[in-house]
Each structure stands twice: as C-alpha cells, then as structure tokens.
Amino acid sequence: MKAAILVKSKQKLIIDELSLPNKLLFGQVLVKIKFSGICGAQINEIDAVKGKDKFLPHLLGHEGSGIVQKIGEGVTTVKPGDHVVLHWKKGSGIESLTPKYKLGNKTINAGWVTTFNDFAVVSENRLTKIPKNFDMRIAPLFGCSLTTAFGVVNNDAKIKIGESVVIIGTGGVGLNIGLASSLVSAYPIIGVDIHNFKLTIGKKYGLSHTILYSKKNFKNKLSNILKNKLPDNVIETTGKSEMIELAYDITSKNGKTILVGVPNKKINIYSLPLHFNKLLTGSHGGNCNPDTDIPNYINLINYKKINLKKLVTHEFSLSDINKAIDLFRKGLGGRIIINMDK
C-alpha cells in the first residue's frame, strides 16, 4: 500500500510503500480508499498543537470514501464490495484494535481510521455504508466537514428560523455551516474571511452577506448589516485566539459563541456575561451521529435540496499531498480532495 507518513512533527509527510498486516483482527475492515479530504485536524497533528506526538511515525487522515475489500471476525455492518464513508466519529459496530503497518522492519502506527493511504485497515465503527451510485468524490465531506458543520447548526447552536449567524472562517467547514444555516432559514448569514474567493463561493452556498476581514473596519461593517444589533450566533472555525476573542466579543448578550476551530493558544475574555444568558461552548464534531446523519444528508443531495460539487475546489494525487497541505495552510481552497487513483 502507498501511504503518506508523518515521521517528524512540523515536517512534510513522507510518501512510501507499506506492508499491510497479515491478518485482520476482530472488528477490523480492509478498505480500498478512493478519495480523502484534508481538514484542520490533520494540520494540527502535523504541527503537534496538542503537545509532543508520542505515536510517531504514524498515518493521518479521518475523512474519506472507499470500497470494502475484506472484513475481520465479528464485523456485521459492512461486507466486501460495499461503498463506505470513513469518519472519525464513532458509529455503530465494533471498535477494533488499531492496526500496525510495516515499512521494512519499522512499525508505522495508525488510529482507528486513516485516509492518507490507498488502502486502510479501519475499525468497523468508523465506517458508514452509502449507496453504490453515490458520488465517491464528494463522499469524504460526510466524514468530517459537512457532518461537523450541520451538527454545529442543529446540535450545538440550535439555530432557530430568523436568527442571525456570523461565521468566522469560510473554509470547508465554514462553507457548510453557511449552507446548513440557510437550510434552517437563519438570516442574515454573514461570512467573514480574509480571502475573497472563499466568500464568493459562500454566496452560492447560503451566505446572505460577506465581510472581507480587516481589523480596522470590521465592527462597522457588521453593525451596518445587522442594523446596529449584535448577532445571535457567532461560529468561529479558525482556532486563532484573537478571532475567538473577537467572536465572543461581538456575540449578543443572549447569544451563542460556538468554537469549532481548536485554539492555537490561550484566550482572554470577560466572563461576566456567561453568568447571565450569553453562551460560550466548544463543538466536538457537531455532536453528529454518523449512522443517522450521513443517510439523512445523502437524501438531501438525492432530492436536490443541496449540491456539494462546487465545494470541492482542488484535487491532488497522493504523491502531491504535501502540495495539497501547503494550499490548505494558505487558505486558498474550499475543500481539497486527494484522489487515490490519480
């Protein structure tokens, strides 16, 4: 199998050929990966933002699509030939032991799901079966970005009809938050970003207003849109401490600040409003349930309620994954896809 390996924190991934385990263990599934997404969680892993990485060297990736090749003992939710979404949130089925791959005589670690590899041994509970006629290229969005975004709107913010929403950072997750907000009839839905092309995409996916961010005049622009009111819901996706502080600051006294991005350092806020009706909370993948949410969202596509194809702005081969990661870091893409057959 061909894989992108994180050998050292804050360094580029190494592309190499690994040996698969000789036997699938209880609850494990062998999947041929077709497409993988890239999200901020992988960048955080590469940069070791949570501290020293004790699992190096290891594989990465937690949103993808693929075809089941073999199943281990005990697996009942999928069978060989099934098309599946690979996701990091737990679904139904067994949570298996994590696999160990080999690079010569060296062990390469992996979690319950990895997608930066053309084959993967995956825990049964990180797979959800999808229809065979569903577009495998957009299916990775159901592994993290779309399910997280829709869950943020439905489960974390619980946005009501007519409530205002500000989305700080309109990357892959932010764009889907805009789309989900439009589905629940929020208004206005304001996207904030430093890249105008992302805001342009967002206008096609639910944003009613956009603000090209500048510290100098941001609050004035926001006030003009909201007619001197403060937003009901502010959803922060960048993880940058100064933007988290800004998100909390601009939220109305009865509003909600939802943090999706993982903070890059400590934040400073005035906490008194939290003793009254203001809410500040972090999202854990939108509290989504892959077993029910993924089929529901696929129905939205099948019934032409949403169209996700234009959210995927770039496609790379696995060999060029470092180029894809560089593009992601620069914030110059919507959702970036790795095509394992390219």
Contacts of 303 (CB under 8 A, 6+ apart): none
pLDDT in tens, the chain (342 residues): 999 999 999 999 999 999 999 999 999 999 999 999 999 899 999 999 888 999 999 999 999 999 999 999 999 999 999 999 999 999 999 999 999 999 999 999 999 999 999 999 999 999 999 999 999 999 999 999 999 999 999 999 999 999 999 999 998 899 999 999 999 999 999 999 999 999 999 999 999 999 999 999 999 999 999 999 999 999 999 999 999 999 999 999 999 999 998 887 899 999 999 999 999 999 999 999 999 999 999 999 999 999 998 889 999 999 999 999 999 998 888 899 999 998
Residue 283 token pair: 């999202």
Residue 331, pLDDT score: 85
Q: Which residues contact 332 (CB under 8 A, 6 or more apart)?
A: 195, 197
Query: For position 50, what pLDDT does the model report?
Result: 83
Query: Exposed, middle or buried by CB within 10 Å (0-12, 13-18, 19+), for 51?
Result: exposed
C-beta atoms surrounding 58 within 10 Å: 19
Give the pLDDT score at 74: 98
**CA-based angle 111:36:236, to the nearest 5?**
85
Tell me what pLDDT residue 131 has: 97
Return the closest-CA partner of residue 290 out of 86, 136, 135, 131: 86
Residue 332: its pLDDT value, please?
82
Supply the pLDDT for residue 260: 95
The reported pLDDT for the residue numbered 265 is: 85
> Which runs of E-coded beta strand occur in the chain?
2-6, 14-17, 28-37, 58-59, 64-71, 83-86, 100-103, 106-109, 119-123, 127-130, 165-168, 189-193, 209-212, 233-236, 256-259, 279-282, 312-317, 335-339
Q: Which residues contact 104 (CB under 8 A, 6 or more apart)?
A: none
pLDDT given for residue 333 in this prediction? 81
* Radius of gyration in angstroms for the set of CA atoms belonging to the chain, rounded to a whole number: 20
pLDDT value, residue 256: 98
How far, in Å, CA of 149 to CA of 181, rounded? Answer: 9
